[in-house]
A and B are shown apart, each in its own frame.
Chain A
Amino acid sequence: MQNPYLPYPVRIDSIITETEDRNLKTFRFVFLNPDDEKKFAYQSGQFAELSVTGKGEIPIGIASSPTEKGFVTFTVNKVGLVSSYLHSMKVGDIMGIRGPMGHPYPWDVLKGKNVVIIGGGFAFTTLRSSIIYMLHPENRSKFKDIHVIYGARTPGMLLYKNELAAWEKRDDIRMNITVDGTKDPDWKYNVGFVPTITEKKAPNADKDTYSIICGPPIMIKFTQPVLDKLGYAHDHIIMSLENRMKCGIGMCGRCNVGKDFVCKDGPVFTLSQLETMPQEY
């Protein structure tokens, strides 16, 4: 019997501090047993439990893309017990990851469609995975237009700055990076909150256009009316929930929203699905 609680052993391969407040770090892990990488076959939108031996486990979205081989990456915000300890760990340290868990973004549905990615703050991790996945030469032709609207408080708080700059230069992805405010005279991109930029830059709705939206509750709250105004049907708005988790496999009972477990039946839901569920997220 496969033990679904047993993490795959991994080694920390690199650590990048992403943001100027040093609260977000990207950890790159390599599997100690190469076979485990195959077992960990995942798709963009899924998450895993990072197991820090002696401290506990935390559910974190997978930031790498299935098209990137030989490692997996996660970007972790420093919050409490486990994430703070993880921030103090070093390259070479041994820990575990368990997964992949949950449903990915609905890639079958998104095939042949325009994809509008809207992200705010550090909830850009699985969106980064999605962008890398879609831009991969083998996949780019499977999708029509790709729009990205991504905002952070300041330029220094944006994740994956080098990749953002590289995507800005491409003509097969329409980038709209924005910050709430900046004193940087060299800032070349937008200034304004994500909902405002969405209103200005997001394409109008049609049946072939889906938006994936991840961000802090306040951003989601104000972006949703904008998408309504642009005419997005609620089954074309895709979101990802973050309830407190332990097991990640639908057994420990804590992450439910109505009859669905965020870990097993989510974390990805459409807005029309969420409208039939209690607002316990």
Chain B
Amino acid sequence: MKVIKIDKKDWAGGLDKASSGYRFFGPVEDKECHNFKELDKGELPDFNFSNTRLSAKSVVFPQTEAMFEYSLDENEADHHLMKECRKNDAPRAVLGIRPCDASAFLLVKRNFDNPEYRDPWWVKAYESTTFAGLACNNPCASCFCTSAGCGPFDEKGLDVLLVDAGDHFLAKVVTEKGRKMLAAAGWNAETDADIEALKKDAESKISSFVPTDKLKDKTTMELYNAAFWEEAAFACLNCGTCTYSCPTCWCFDIQDESKGKSGIRMRNWDSCMYPLFTLHGSGHNPRGTKIHRVRQRFMHKLKYYVDKYGDGIQCVGCGRCIRLCPVNIDIRKICEKMNSYEPKAGDCNR
């Protein structure tokens, strides 16, 4: 695959040139942390970050999104009918997304784009996006991406892999989409520079490892009934920070919101940490306790997903939930417990 050298002094000019064909999204600093936002014309992404506070999932899957609009005014011909909201599906590019966040989209795609149903908003946004990722030269201590089927230079979710090499970027062209974006920016200086050494160096800095190999062989009910859930959930506040910051959490709620005689049906991120998530109209709640909800989150990521798709865990090892959890719940420790769990004779089975 081709590698293009982009001199940093040509960075702003290239983006400006390409901006007629792309809406750019990138990390910018705001209130002591970096987050992704749509860049204004001429605004540059700020690559002076380890990783963004929230993941980049909102670029494709906004925290709140209008699905349909409707009128309740009976004088209008199409009153009470749902009309799909028009969306801006013009090509967009995410600059500086970390490889973990990009590969998270592949895990999430299995949910939104499957043989039976395709989620039109997610699919269109995803397909119109070019992912120009930024390799992690200095992965942080809570990352365990290499244990989660990913890595600091992982390319599988990307169209272009950018490597910061001091006064220039090395841009590895991963897909045709990526090639087009680089061409649109006028970056075309091919180089035979090797990024393998940088990659090995970055991978060697990963200090956190989590075994996941035995998860698939455990039975669901044995793990579900394991004694450690009570302790795991003890301190949890059910605040939902983990699910909101996670690039691989996709649960959402649907609500109608009317103002006067018109309104929208919209969806909003939701969280399995909240009791309302599963509360029935009758008052019955199948996940009525904190233990149920904490167990659901980890069982989903580390067992149900593993069994459903047979291709690893629903986590890319970005470490956000570990860094942001107010009570220090650590998915690495839970994963270790699950992976090494052996039911004791006499444990009940339900």
Identify the A interface with B (CB < 8 A). 1-7, 9, 51, 53-57, 79-80, 83, 93-96, 217, 242-244, 246-247, 249-259, 264, 275-281
**Contact A53 to B82, CB < 8 A, known contacts A242-B280, A259-B307:** yes
Q: Provide the residues of chain A in CB contact with B280, threshold 8 Å.
A: 242-244
- Cα–Cα distance between A144 and B345 once the two chains are bound (Å): 45
Q: Provide the residues of chain A in CB contact with B299, threshold 8 Å.
A: 258, 278
Question: Would you call A9 and B81 a contact (CB within 8 A)?
Answer: yes
- Cα–Cα distance between A247 and B270 once the two chains are bound (Å): 13
Name B251's contact: one of A54, A96, A253 (CB within 8 Å). Answer: A253
Chain A residue nearest to B253 in the complex (CB): A246
**Contact A246 to B254, CB < 8 A, known contacts A3-B120, A79-B282:** yes
Question: Would you call A277 and B119 a contact (CB within 8 A)?
Answer: no
Q: Min CB distance, B228 to chain A, in Å?
A: 16
- Cα–Cα distance between A141 and B40 once the two chains are bound (Å): 70
- Cα–Cα distance between A94 and B70 once the two chains are bound (Å): 12
- Cα–Cα distance between A277 and B349 once the two chains are bound (Å): 11
Could you list some 13 contacts between A and B, CB below 8 A? A1-B124, A2-B118, A5-B67, A5-B119, A9-B80, A53-B81, A94-B81, A244-B277, A249-B116, A250-B111, A253-B252, A253-B270, A259-B303
Q: Provide the residues of chain A in CB contact with B284, threshold 8 Å.
A: 217
- Cα–Cα distance between A251 and B109 once the two chains are bound (Å): 11
Chain B residue nearest to A53 in the complex (CB): B80
**Contact A254 to B116, CB < 8 A, known contacts A7-B82, A53-B82:** no
Q: Min CB distance, A223 to chain B, in Å?
A: 18
A contact face: mostly helix, strand, loop, or mixed: loop
Q: Min CB distance, A276 to chain B, in Å?
A: 7
- Cα–Cα distance between A2 and B116 once the two chains are bound (Å): 11
Q: Provide the residues of chain B in CB contact with A252, threshold 8 Å.
A: 251-254, 267, 270
Question: Would you call B286 and A56 a contact (CB within 8 A)?
Answer: no
Pick from A93, A94, A244 the residue with the most CB of B within 10 Å: A244
Q: How large is the interface on B (under 10, 10 to 19, 20 to 34, 35 or more residues)?
A: 35 or more
Q: Provide the residues of chain B in CB contact with A51, threshold 8 Å.
A: 82
- Cα–Cα distance between A256 and B287 once the two chains are bound (Å): 10
Question: Would you call B67 and A79 a contact (CB within 8 A)?
Answer: no
Residue B218 at the chain A interface, CB threshold 8 Å: no
**Contact A247 to B82, CB < 8 A, known contacts A6-B68, A278-B221:** no
The proximity string for B residues 152-176 relative to A, scoring 1 for CB distances below 8 Å and 0 otherwise, is 0000000000000000000000000
Closest 3 CB pairs of A and B: A253-B251, A79-B281, A259-B304
* 8 Å CB interface, B227-262 against A: 250-256, 258
Chain A residue nearest to B285 in the complex (CB): A244
Residue B272 at the chain A interface, CB threshold 8 Å: yes
